[in-house]
Amino acid sequence: MESYNSFHVAQKQVAEAAKLLNLDRATVELLSYPQREFSCTLPVKMDDGSVKIFHAYRIQYNFARGPAKGGIRFHPDETVDIIRALASWMTWKTAVVDLPLGGGKGGVVCDPKKLSERELENLSRAYIRAVAEYIGPEKDIPAPDVYTNPQTMAWMMDEYETIVHRHQPGVFTDKPLQIGGTEGRRDATARGGVTTVREACKILDVNPHGRYAIQGFGNAGQRAALLHEEILGGGKLVAVSDSRGAIYNPDGFNPKDLVTHKLTTGTVRSFPGAQQISHEEILELDVDVLYPAALENAISELNAEKIKAKIVCELANGPTTPEADLILFRKGVHVIPDILASAGGVTVSYFEMVQDSYSYFWDEDLVHKRLDQKLTKAYHSVQQAMVQKRVHPRLAAMVVGVARVAEACKLRGWV
């Protein structure tokens, strides 16, 4: 995993899309780097009385279409280049679903599994004290990402409002419902992804009730399992994994039981009666749909040749390397790229911002309906670009996203 620099991957993807779009040199250079970056050190009081220093970042990649938007992750292996890459991908993601937003991302280098609830709260508040000046509903709107959640957003919003002395819920999204969150945000990433699978099954003639596997069983992975029945009318979940292990059952798992087990024990590994498989094997199973829902670079040139899934729906950010994209395309595997497949989360985040701005909240059905419309439309615009340009789906999605951002830069007179 370490051998790939995700930011170089992201830059390469921009360069390829720019070439197909015949963009001028200045535009390509502008879109190849973040517009603004912050790095800071956060002193945090630990439960034992000691003080620990954490390194943290917020990267605002592009503002041409609107304020920066993207999650904050807490992860021990975080690097500034990973966050640059993730901020770049957020920029194309918001553009692919046509939201009036730019892209950004934040991160704190830490192992949240080793921090107490109080230490996590202290860390979240310290992060906001460091970046408060640079975020806001009209500047940059963070949200959860890997190992952060609505509780993290609640602490962060509280710290922010304390600093600015005013009610300002729209500064964060995916907040708890009671304090300005929206219906339908918790399962939005998965709902968007499964919706794109539904559209892909129609075009490709793949059985929507077939076998599927989920690599990574955090929020997005769990919700995808629970939504298969509702959106696709069924399907057999034959394998799941998390950071501690992977399990397989050819007869299919009951998604609800698996989620309950994960939430009570912290892992899927110990699920009764399941066959243990390796982290490599889960990606190589003979399934109709594979959901990579963990971290970057899971599918590379080392294993792409062995992927047997008909559809790969990327709920994670950056799970496939550029080399693997070419291999999968040649093999006829239909990849629904992250900037499309995982765009449901930020789409409902945008709906949350809209509701916060006029303090009037929609019911769940309306959120679901509007999310479905956005993702269905985005899927078909990417599909159309793929046919027109004769390129693999990620490049097609990049072409759609980069073209929209480049146009906004031009209209503003930047290039």
Question: What is the binding site for ligand GLU (CB under 6 A)?
Answer: 69-71, 143, 145, 173, 317, 342, 345-346, 349
- State which residue, 16 or 352, has the beta carbon closest to ligand GLU: 352
CB 67 within 8 Å of CB 101: yes
Please state, in angstroms and rounded to a whole number, the distance separating the CA atoms of residues 40 and 61: 17
CB 75 within 8 Å of CB 54: no
- State which residue, 69 or 175, has the beta carbon closest to ligand GLU: 69
Please state, in angstroms and rounded to a whole number, the distance separating the CA atoms of residues 159 and 149: 16
Q: Which tokens in the block code for residue 261?
A: 């087990």
- State which residue, 141 or 396, has the beta carbon closest to ligand GLU: 141
- State which residue, 69 or 228, has the beta carbon closest to ligand GLU: 69
Tell the burial category of 130 from Cβ atoms under 10 Å away from its Cβ (0-12, 13-18, 19+): middle
Catalytic, 377? Answer no
> Catalytic: which of 69, 105, 262, 374?
105
Please state, in angstroms and rounded to a whole number, the distance separating the CA atoms of residues 163 and 136: 12
Is residue 225 classed as helix, strand or coil in its secondary structure?
helix
Q: How many residues does the chain have?
A: 415
- State which residue, 322 or 344, has the beta carbon closest to ligand GLU: 344
- State which residue, 71 or 180, has the beta carbon closest to ligand GLU: 71
**What is the smallest separation between the CB atom of 338 and ligand GLU, expressed in angstroms?**
8
CB 263 within 8 Å of CB 285: no
**What is the smallest separation between the CB atom of 48 and ligand GLU, expressed in angstroms?**
32
**What is the smallest separation between the CB atom of 257 and ligand GLU, expressed in angstroms?**
27
CB 92 within 8 Å of CB 341: no
- What single letter denotes the amino acid at residue 324? A
- State which residue, 144 or 208, has the beta carbon closest to ligand GLU: 144
CA-CA distances (angstroms) from residue 230 to 192, 209, 224? 13, 11, 10
Q: HSE of 115 in the Cβ direction (CA atoms, 13 Å)?
A: 24
Task: Please give the backbone phi and psi of residue 345, each rounded to the nearest 5 degrees, phi first.
Answer: -60, -55
**What is the smallest separation between the CB atom of 290 and ligand GLU, expressed in angstroms?**
19
Q: Which tokens in the block code for residue 199?
A: 């559209």
Q: Is the four-CA dihedral 36, 6, 377, 401 of positive or negative sign?
A: positive
**What is the smallest separation between the CB atom of 72 and ligand GLU, expressed in angstroms?**
8
**What is the smallest separation between the CB atom of 153 and ligand GLU, expressed in angstroms?**
10
Compute and round to an integer the Cα radius of gyration of the chain: 20
Which one, of 68, 44, 36, lies nearest residue 143 by Cα?
68
Please state, in angstroms and rounded to a whole number, the distance separating the CA atoms of residues 200 and 219: 23
Closest-by-Cβ residue to ligand GLU is 71
**What is the smallest separation between the CB atom of 334 and ligand GLU, expressed in angstroms?**
21
Is residue 56 classed as helix, strand or coil in its secondary structure?
strand
Active site residues: 105
